[in-house]
Amino acid sequence: MGNHLIRGARRAVWLHYLISLAGLLIWINVDAQVGSDVALTRSDLIPIDPKAYLLGQFRPDTTSDFARLPKDLANGRSVYLRTEVAKALERMIRDAREEGVHLEVVSATRSFAQQRAIWNAKFTGERLSGGRNLAKEYPDSLERCLAILKYSSAPGTSRHHWGTDIDFNSTSPAYWRTGEGLLALRWLERHANDYGFFMAYTPDRDRGYRYEPWHWSYQTIARSLLRNHYHQLISPEDINGFHGADIFRRFEWRDWYVDGVSEALR
């Protein structure tokens, strides 16, 4: 009986050892895979210093993996996008035009400086927003920030920094309700997903910016940047250097304005 108990105890010890060893090997393997995936993903998605890229603090015309969109697709303007995005977008626009649908890019990659210029001009009233001078209409800075945030991102939080997002045709909501604009919207709703593009600010959201039928995002790259990198790398202290930045940081800006995109892009 004594030998039997000893043998049983030995078997239990060996079984416990084998289970522990197997668990350790699995943990090591999974941990190595996760580490390599993160490194690979960041290497593939972020061509320069990660913070500088996500905050838009770079020049797309001198950054690797950015390409200039053919000028006939952007009404003669020089606009840049991630190379993969630019190729997919060119195919989509040319296919739409063959079907008699007018699509052109009115805005693509924006640097931090460009987004700051837009924001500051609206904040001071030098630039009208929907025909309104927000500085006069909202003397209170907090209310003015909220008014700007109906359609404009604070510098450092804009998806346009990433080279994955574009604005089509017009940023006037009225344009998309009738005629050429409505025709373009219906085409995009039917076909844009097939090229990898999804509307960023759909009408069915409960937070964030107003409905923007003109703003579309390249899902494959943009969703990974948001899910795996933006919140891990960008802190509140990084969101500064523009009028009202201290006020903006008091808002639930991550949840409301950065994550407040369509479900397909989260």
By percentage, how much of the chain surpasses pLDDT 90?
82
d(CA 137, CA 187) in angstroms, rounded, equals 37
DSSP state letter for 105: E
Give the three-state DSSP class for 95.
helix
Q: Is residue 38's pLDDT more than 80?
A: no
Residue 45 belongs to what H/E stretch?
A: helix 2-45
Q: Where are the beta strands (DSSP E) in 7-139?
A: 66-68, 80-82, 105-107
User: Whole-prediction pTM value?
Assistant: 0.83
Other Cβ atoms less than 10 A from the Cβ of 187: the count is: 18
pLDDT digits (tens, 9 = 90+) for 9-30: 345 434 444 434 343 333 333 3
How far apart are the two ends of the chain, measured CA to CA in Å? 63
pLDDT band at 261 (very low <50, low <70, confident <90, very high): very high
Considering the segment(s) 50-265 as one domain, its CATH architecture is: 2-Layer Sandwich (3.30)
Amino acid at 64: S
Inter-residue contact 63 to 82 (CB < 8 Å): no
pLDDT band at 197 (very low <50, low <70, confident <90, very high): very high
Q: Is residue 125 left, alpha or beta, with left meaning phi > 0 and alpha meaning psi from -120 to 50?
A: left
- What is residue 43's predicted lDDT score, i.e. its pLDDT? 67
Domain boundaries, the chain: 1-45, 50-265
For residue 117, give every residue at least 6 positions away whose Cβ sits within 8 Å of its Cβ, in sequence order, or none. Answer: none
- What is residue 44's predicted lDDT score, i.e. its pLDDT? 72
